[in-house]
């Protein structure tokens, strides 16, 4: 189009007003005859009305119209739309030139991108950011570290020009390398003083360091030791040391020993196995060359029956005689018997017994122990004053077997109770019957019928064992006169003598309490505690828990004194004794009729603990929650 423009304009010149000089277009006055008002006519200029033309272009006719051009711009041809901020300009079908807007996006969200009048992209930094990274292509917010050098800190607050500050020498930093350690700033640069140790100590697992991931491991096929001295040629496979195909040779060349390799122990050379005739009335020996000699003898022997004692060898070399093994453990609360395979069995009895103390009455067997109620003829048990005590302000039998409602009484994480609501190994089979006693117990505590204090005088914070006892008590006379609020205030208490047995041992006591990782724990399968819960209406509910345990969190004051506890007690109660205890209550102490309560208890509570190991679960697990506040034991 531009090559034919001078010839086209030459044809239009006689129409007036257009002057073309050397291809440049300008506008002039009308062309015709006239005079030069400035001083006479310039005949040559006035007479010359022609336009200098390029002969070649003037003689060349425009190309024929093929139908794909309009306005002189061929469709699809390159052109220039005159905008420096567009690229790839092309003619459209209407003959107009259009370009695509030039992209100035630098990929940084903290810059405002634009195209200038000269077509050059500009990237204005948003206030509050610095350009970071090795190529300054990372947005770093004010007060943040440069990701490629964390010792550089962006300073871009207010409207000031952004700049970089540096951390002081010794400040911790990250050099971005997962394999370096002990990184600190030095003269504004993050440097490391060590490298990550990725050694595994396992010949079957090789450790190495990836600069992005840190320590990584790979399996090896190295030689190893599977820990069994009876295997030889062990090698690694799938990250585990596999036993070799060979077996350790254990022949000691002694004809009188039976040689073998015992897994986990190594070679064994038994000098008795070869000649043992399994007759308790012969003396077995091995002679040179491996010849056995079995010589009869007389004297004590064992016929292999655990239910006989005192057997002897007769003249015929037979183990005979002896008497029955009574298995008597001198405990009035166990039924003693002998099983020909299991041996002695000492199963728990229920009912009356004699604890050998003349000053106790109503002695009863509970979980293999004889308990009697003290009378005033028993020795007074002294209790020294201490301010290291807590008063229990709430007691509740938990109504489920989930965490916080009980403990793992049987120490088996795979069992829990009740089956309708338990988890995590928590045992609380009596949860289904909690509603029978909770209203009365709660009322007794709130109204002061029950005032239990926890003696914390022996507490040790170093993990060593100490004694933890719980006493029944009452307010001192002075505290009564002062109307001390026993549910909220720090009050003084007198310990009741019924808290002790006739030998002055606390009925409710743990001798192995410890504080481990901020938690107080005590008890176990050898711990038996007994408690008496006074109920509304004057009834007393006696509970004895075998396998008793406690777990408690606590808070301390600035002196280290325990000022509050949230505790969970757990244990097992023989179901028959619990039923007997409830039979002794009046219906006024229960939310429903006593006979109905007993029938319900027997039907819904499923025993889950076997205390005496006879294979029969005779006891039900129990979970009890308590909370406490500071208290003072007066004496």
Q: How far apart are CA 536 and CA 530, in angstroms?
A: 20
* Pairing state between β 138-141 and 145-146: unpaired
- What does the pLDDT average to over 391-404? 94
User: Helix 434-446 vs helix 594-604: angle between axes, to the nearest 10 degrees?
Assistant: 120
- Per mean pLDDT, which of 153-167, 175-189, 257-271 is the most reliable? 175-189
Q: Using one digit for the tens of pLDDT, what is the confidence trace for 63-92?
A: 433 334 445 789 999 999 999 999 999 999
The pLDDT confidence band at residue 6, using thresholds 50, 70 and 90, is very low
User: What does the angle CA 33 – CA 37 – CA 39 come to, to the nearest 5 degrees?
Assistant: 110
Q: Using one digit for the tens of pLDDT, what is the confidence trace for 567-599?
A: 999 999 888 878 877 887 777 777 778 888 888
CA atoms within 13 A on the CB side of 163: 6
Q: Using one digit for the tens of pLDDT, what is the confidence trace for 285-294?
A: 898 888 898 8
Q: How far apart are CA 15 and CA 5, in angstroms?
A: 16
* Residue 26 lies inside a defined structural domain of this protein: yes
Residue whose C-alpha is closest to residue 521's, from 569, 559, 472: 569
Domain count, the chain: 2
Q: How far apart are CA 362 and CA 584, in angstroms?
A: 13
Domain boundary among 39, 55, 71: 55
Which residues are CB-neighbours of 374 under 8 A, at least 6 positions away?
359, 360, 497, 498, 500, 501, 502
* Residue 162 lies inside a defined structural domain of this protein: no
What the block records as the tokens of 194 is 């060590």
Find how far residue 191's CA is from the centre of its chain: 34
Report in angstroms the alpha-carbon separations of 366 from 58, 373, 496: 131, 13, 22
Residue whose C-alpha is closest to residue 632's, from 395, 389, 402, 405: 389
pTM strictly above 0.85? no
Which residues are CB-neighbours of 258 under 8 A, at least 6 positions away?
269, 270, 273, 274
> Whole-number mean pLDDT of the chain?
83
Percent helix, percent strand, percent coil in the chain, to nearest 5 = 10, 40, 50
- What does the pLDDT average to over 239-264? 86
Report in angstroms the alpha-carbon separations of 374 from 361, 475, 525, 581, 627: 7, 21, 26, 18, 28
Strand extents, DSSP E, 479-613: 492-495, 509-516, 519-523, 528-534, 540-556, 562-574
151 pLDDT exceeds 50? yes
Strand extents, DSSP E, 349-485: 351-352, 360-366, 369-374, 386-397, 452-455, 466-475
Q: How far apart are CA 256 and CA 275, in angstroms?
A: 8
Give Dmax over CA atoms of the chain in angstroms.
176
* Residue 518 lies inside a defined structural domain of this protein: yes
Lowest-pLDDT choice from 23-27, 111-115, 189-193: 23-27
* Residue 107 lies inside a defined structural domain of this protein: no
Q: The sheet that has 163-166: what strands, in order across it?
A: 145-146, 149-155, 163-166
Residue matched to tokens 């190295």: 222
Q: How far apart are CA 220 and CA 242, in angstroms?
A: 12
Q: Output b/e per residue, 593-614; b: 16+ Cβ within 10 A.
A: ebeebbebbeeebebbbebbeb
Q: How far apart are CA 333 and CA 328, in angstroms?
A: 11
User: What does the angle CA 115 – CA 121 – CA 123 come to, to the nearest 5 degrees?
Assistant: 105
Lowest-pLDDT choice from 307-316, 318-327, 365-374: 365-374
Q: Using one digit for the tens of pLDDT, what is the confidence trace for 192-209?
A: 999 999 999 999 999 999
* Residue 212 lies inside a defined structural domain of this protein: no
Q: Which domain holds residue 27?
A: 1-55
Find how far residue 139's CA is from the centre of its chain: 36
* Residue 464 lies inside a defined structural domain of this protein: yes
Q: How far apart are CA 502 and CA 373, in angstroms?
A: 8
pLDDT for position 537 = 67
The pLDDT confidence band at residue 514, using thresholds 50, 70 and 90, is very high
Q: Using one digit for the tens of pLDDT, what is the confidence trace for 405-463?
A: 999 999 999 999 998 899 999 999 999 888 888 888 888 899 888 899 999 999 999 99
The pLDDT confidence band at residue 56, using thresholds 50, 70 and 90, is very low
* Residue 533 lies inside a defined structural domain of this protein: yes
* Residue 440 lies inside a defined structural domain of this protein: yes
110 pLDDT exceeds 60? yes
């Amino acid at each position: 189009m531009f090559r034919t423009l001078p010839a086209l304009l030459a044809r239009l010149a006689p129409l007036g007003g257009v002057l073309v000089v050397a291809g440049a277009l300008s506008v002039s006055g009308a062309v015709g005859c006239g005079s030069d008002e400035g001083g006479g006519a310039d005949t040559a200029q006035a007479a010359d009305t022609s336009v200098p033309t390029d002969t070649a272009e003037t003689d060349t006719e425009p190309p024929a119209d093929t139908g794909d051009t309009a306005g002189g711009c061929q469709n699809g041809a390159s052109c220039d739309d005159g905008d420096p901020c567009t690229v790839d300009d092309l003619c459209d079908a209407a003959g107009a030139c259009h370009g695509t807007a030039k992209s100035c996006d630098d990929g940084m969200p903290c810059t405002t991108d634009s195209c200038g009048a000269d077509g050059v992209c500009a990237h204005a930094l948003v206030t509050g950011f610095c350009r970071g990274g090795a190529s300054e292509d990372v947005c770093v917010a004010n007060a943040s570290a440069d990701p490629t050098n964390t010792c550089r800190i962006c300073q871009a607050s207010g409207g000031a020009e952004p700049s970089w500050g540096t951390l002081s020498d010794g400040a911790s930093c990250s050099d971005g390398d997962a394999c370096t350690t002990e990184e600190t700033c030095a003269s504004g640069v993050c440097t490391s003083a060590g490298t990550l140790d990725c050694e595994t100590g396992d010949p079957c697992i090789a450790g190495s360091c990836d600069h992005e991931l840190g320590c990584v491991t790979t399996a090896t096929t190295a030689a190893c030791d599977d820990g069994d001295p009876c295997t030889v040629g062990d090698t690694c496979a799938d990250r585990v040391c596999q036993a070799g195909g060979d077996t350790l040779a254990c022949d000691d060349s002694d004809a009188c020993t039976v040689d073998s390799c015992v897994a986990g122990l190594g070679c064994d050379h038994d000098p008795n196995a070869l000649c043992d005739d399994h007759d308790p009335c012969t003396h077995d020996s091995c002679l040179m060359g491996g010849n056995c000699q079995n010589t009869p003898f007389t004297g004590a022997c064992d016929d292999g029956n655990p239910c006989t004692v005192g057997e002897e060898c007769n003249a015929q070399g037979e183990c005979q005689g002896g008497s029955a093994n009574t298995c008597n453990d001198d405990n009035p609360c166990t039924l003693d018997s002998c099983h020909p395979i299991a041996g002695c069995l000492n199963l728990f009895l229920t009912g009356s017994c004699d604890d050998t103390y003349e000053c106790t009455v109503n002695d009863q067997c509970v979980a293999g122990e004889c308990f009697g109620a003290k009378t005033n003829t028993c020795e007074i048990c002294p209790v020294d004053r201490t301010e290291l005590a807590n008063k229990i302000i709430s007691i509740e039998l938990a109504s489920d077997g989930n965490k916080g409602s009980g403990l793992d009484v049987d120490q088996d994480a795979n069992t829990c109770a009740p089956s309708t609501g338990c988890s995590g190994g928590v045992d609380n089979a009596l949860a289904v019957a909690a509603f029978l006693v909770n209203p009365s117990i709660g009322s007794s505590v709130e109204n002061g019928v029950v005032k239990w204090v926890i003696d914390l005088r022996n507490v040790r914070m170093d993990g060593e064992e100490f004694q933890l006892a719980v006493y029944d008590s009452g307010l001192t006379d002075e505290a009564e006169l002062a109307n001390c609020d026993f549910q909220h205030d720090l009050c003084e208490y007198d310990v009741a003598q019924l808290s002790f047995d006739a030998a002055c041992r606390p009925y409710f006591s743990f001798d192995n309490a410890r504080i481990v990782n901020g938690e107080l724990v005590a008890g176990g399968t050898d711990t038996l505690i007994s408690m008496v819960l006074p109920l509304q209406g004057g009834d007393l509910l006696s509970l004895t828990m075998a396998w008793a345990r406690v777990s408690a969190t606590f808070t301390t004051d600035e002196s280290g004194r325990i000022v509050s506890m949230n505790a969970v007690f757990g244990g097992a109660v023989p179901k028959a004794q619990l039923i007997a205890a409830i039979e002794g209550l009046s219906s006024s102490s229960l939310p429903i009729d006593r006979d109905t309560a007993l029938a319900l208890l027997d039907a819904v509570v499923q025993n889950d603990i076997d205390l005496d190991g006879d294979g029969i679960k005779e006891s039900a697990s129990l979970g009890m929650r308590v909370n406490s506040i500071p208290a003072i034991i007066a004496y």
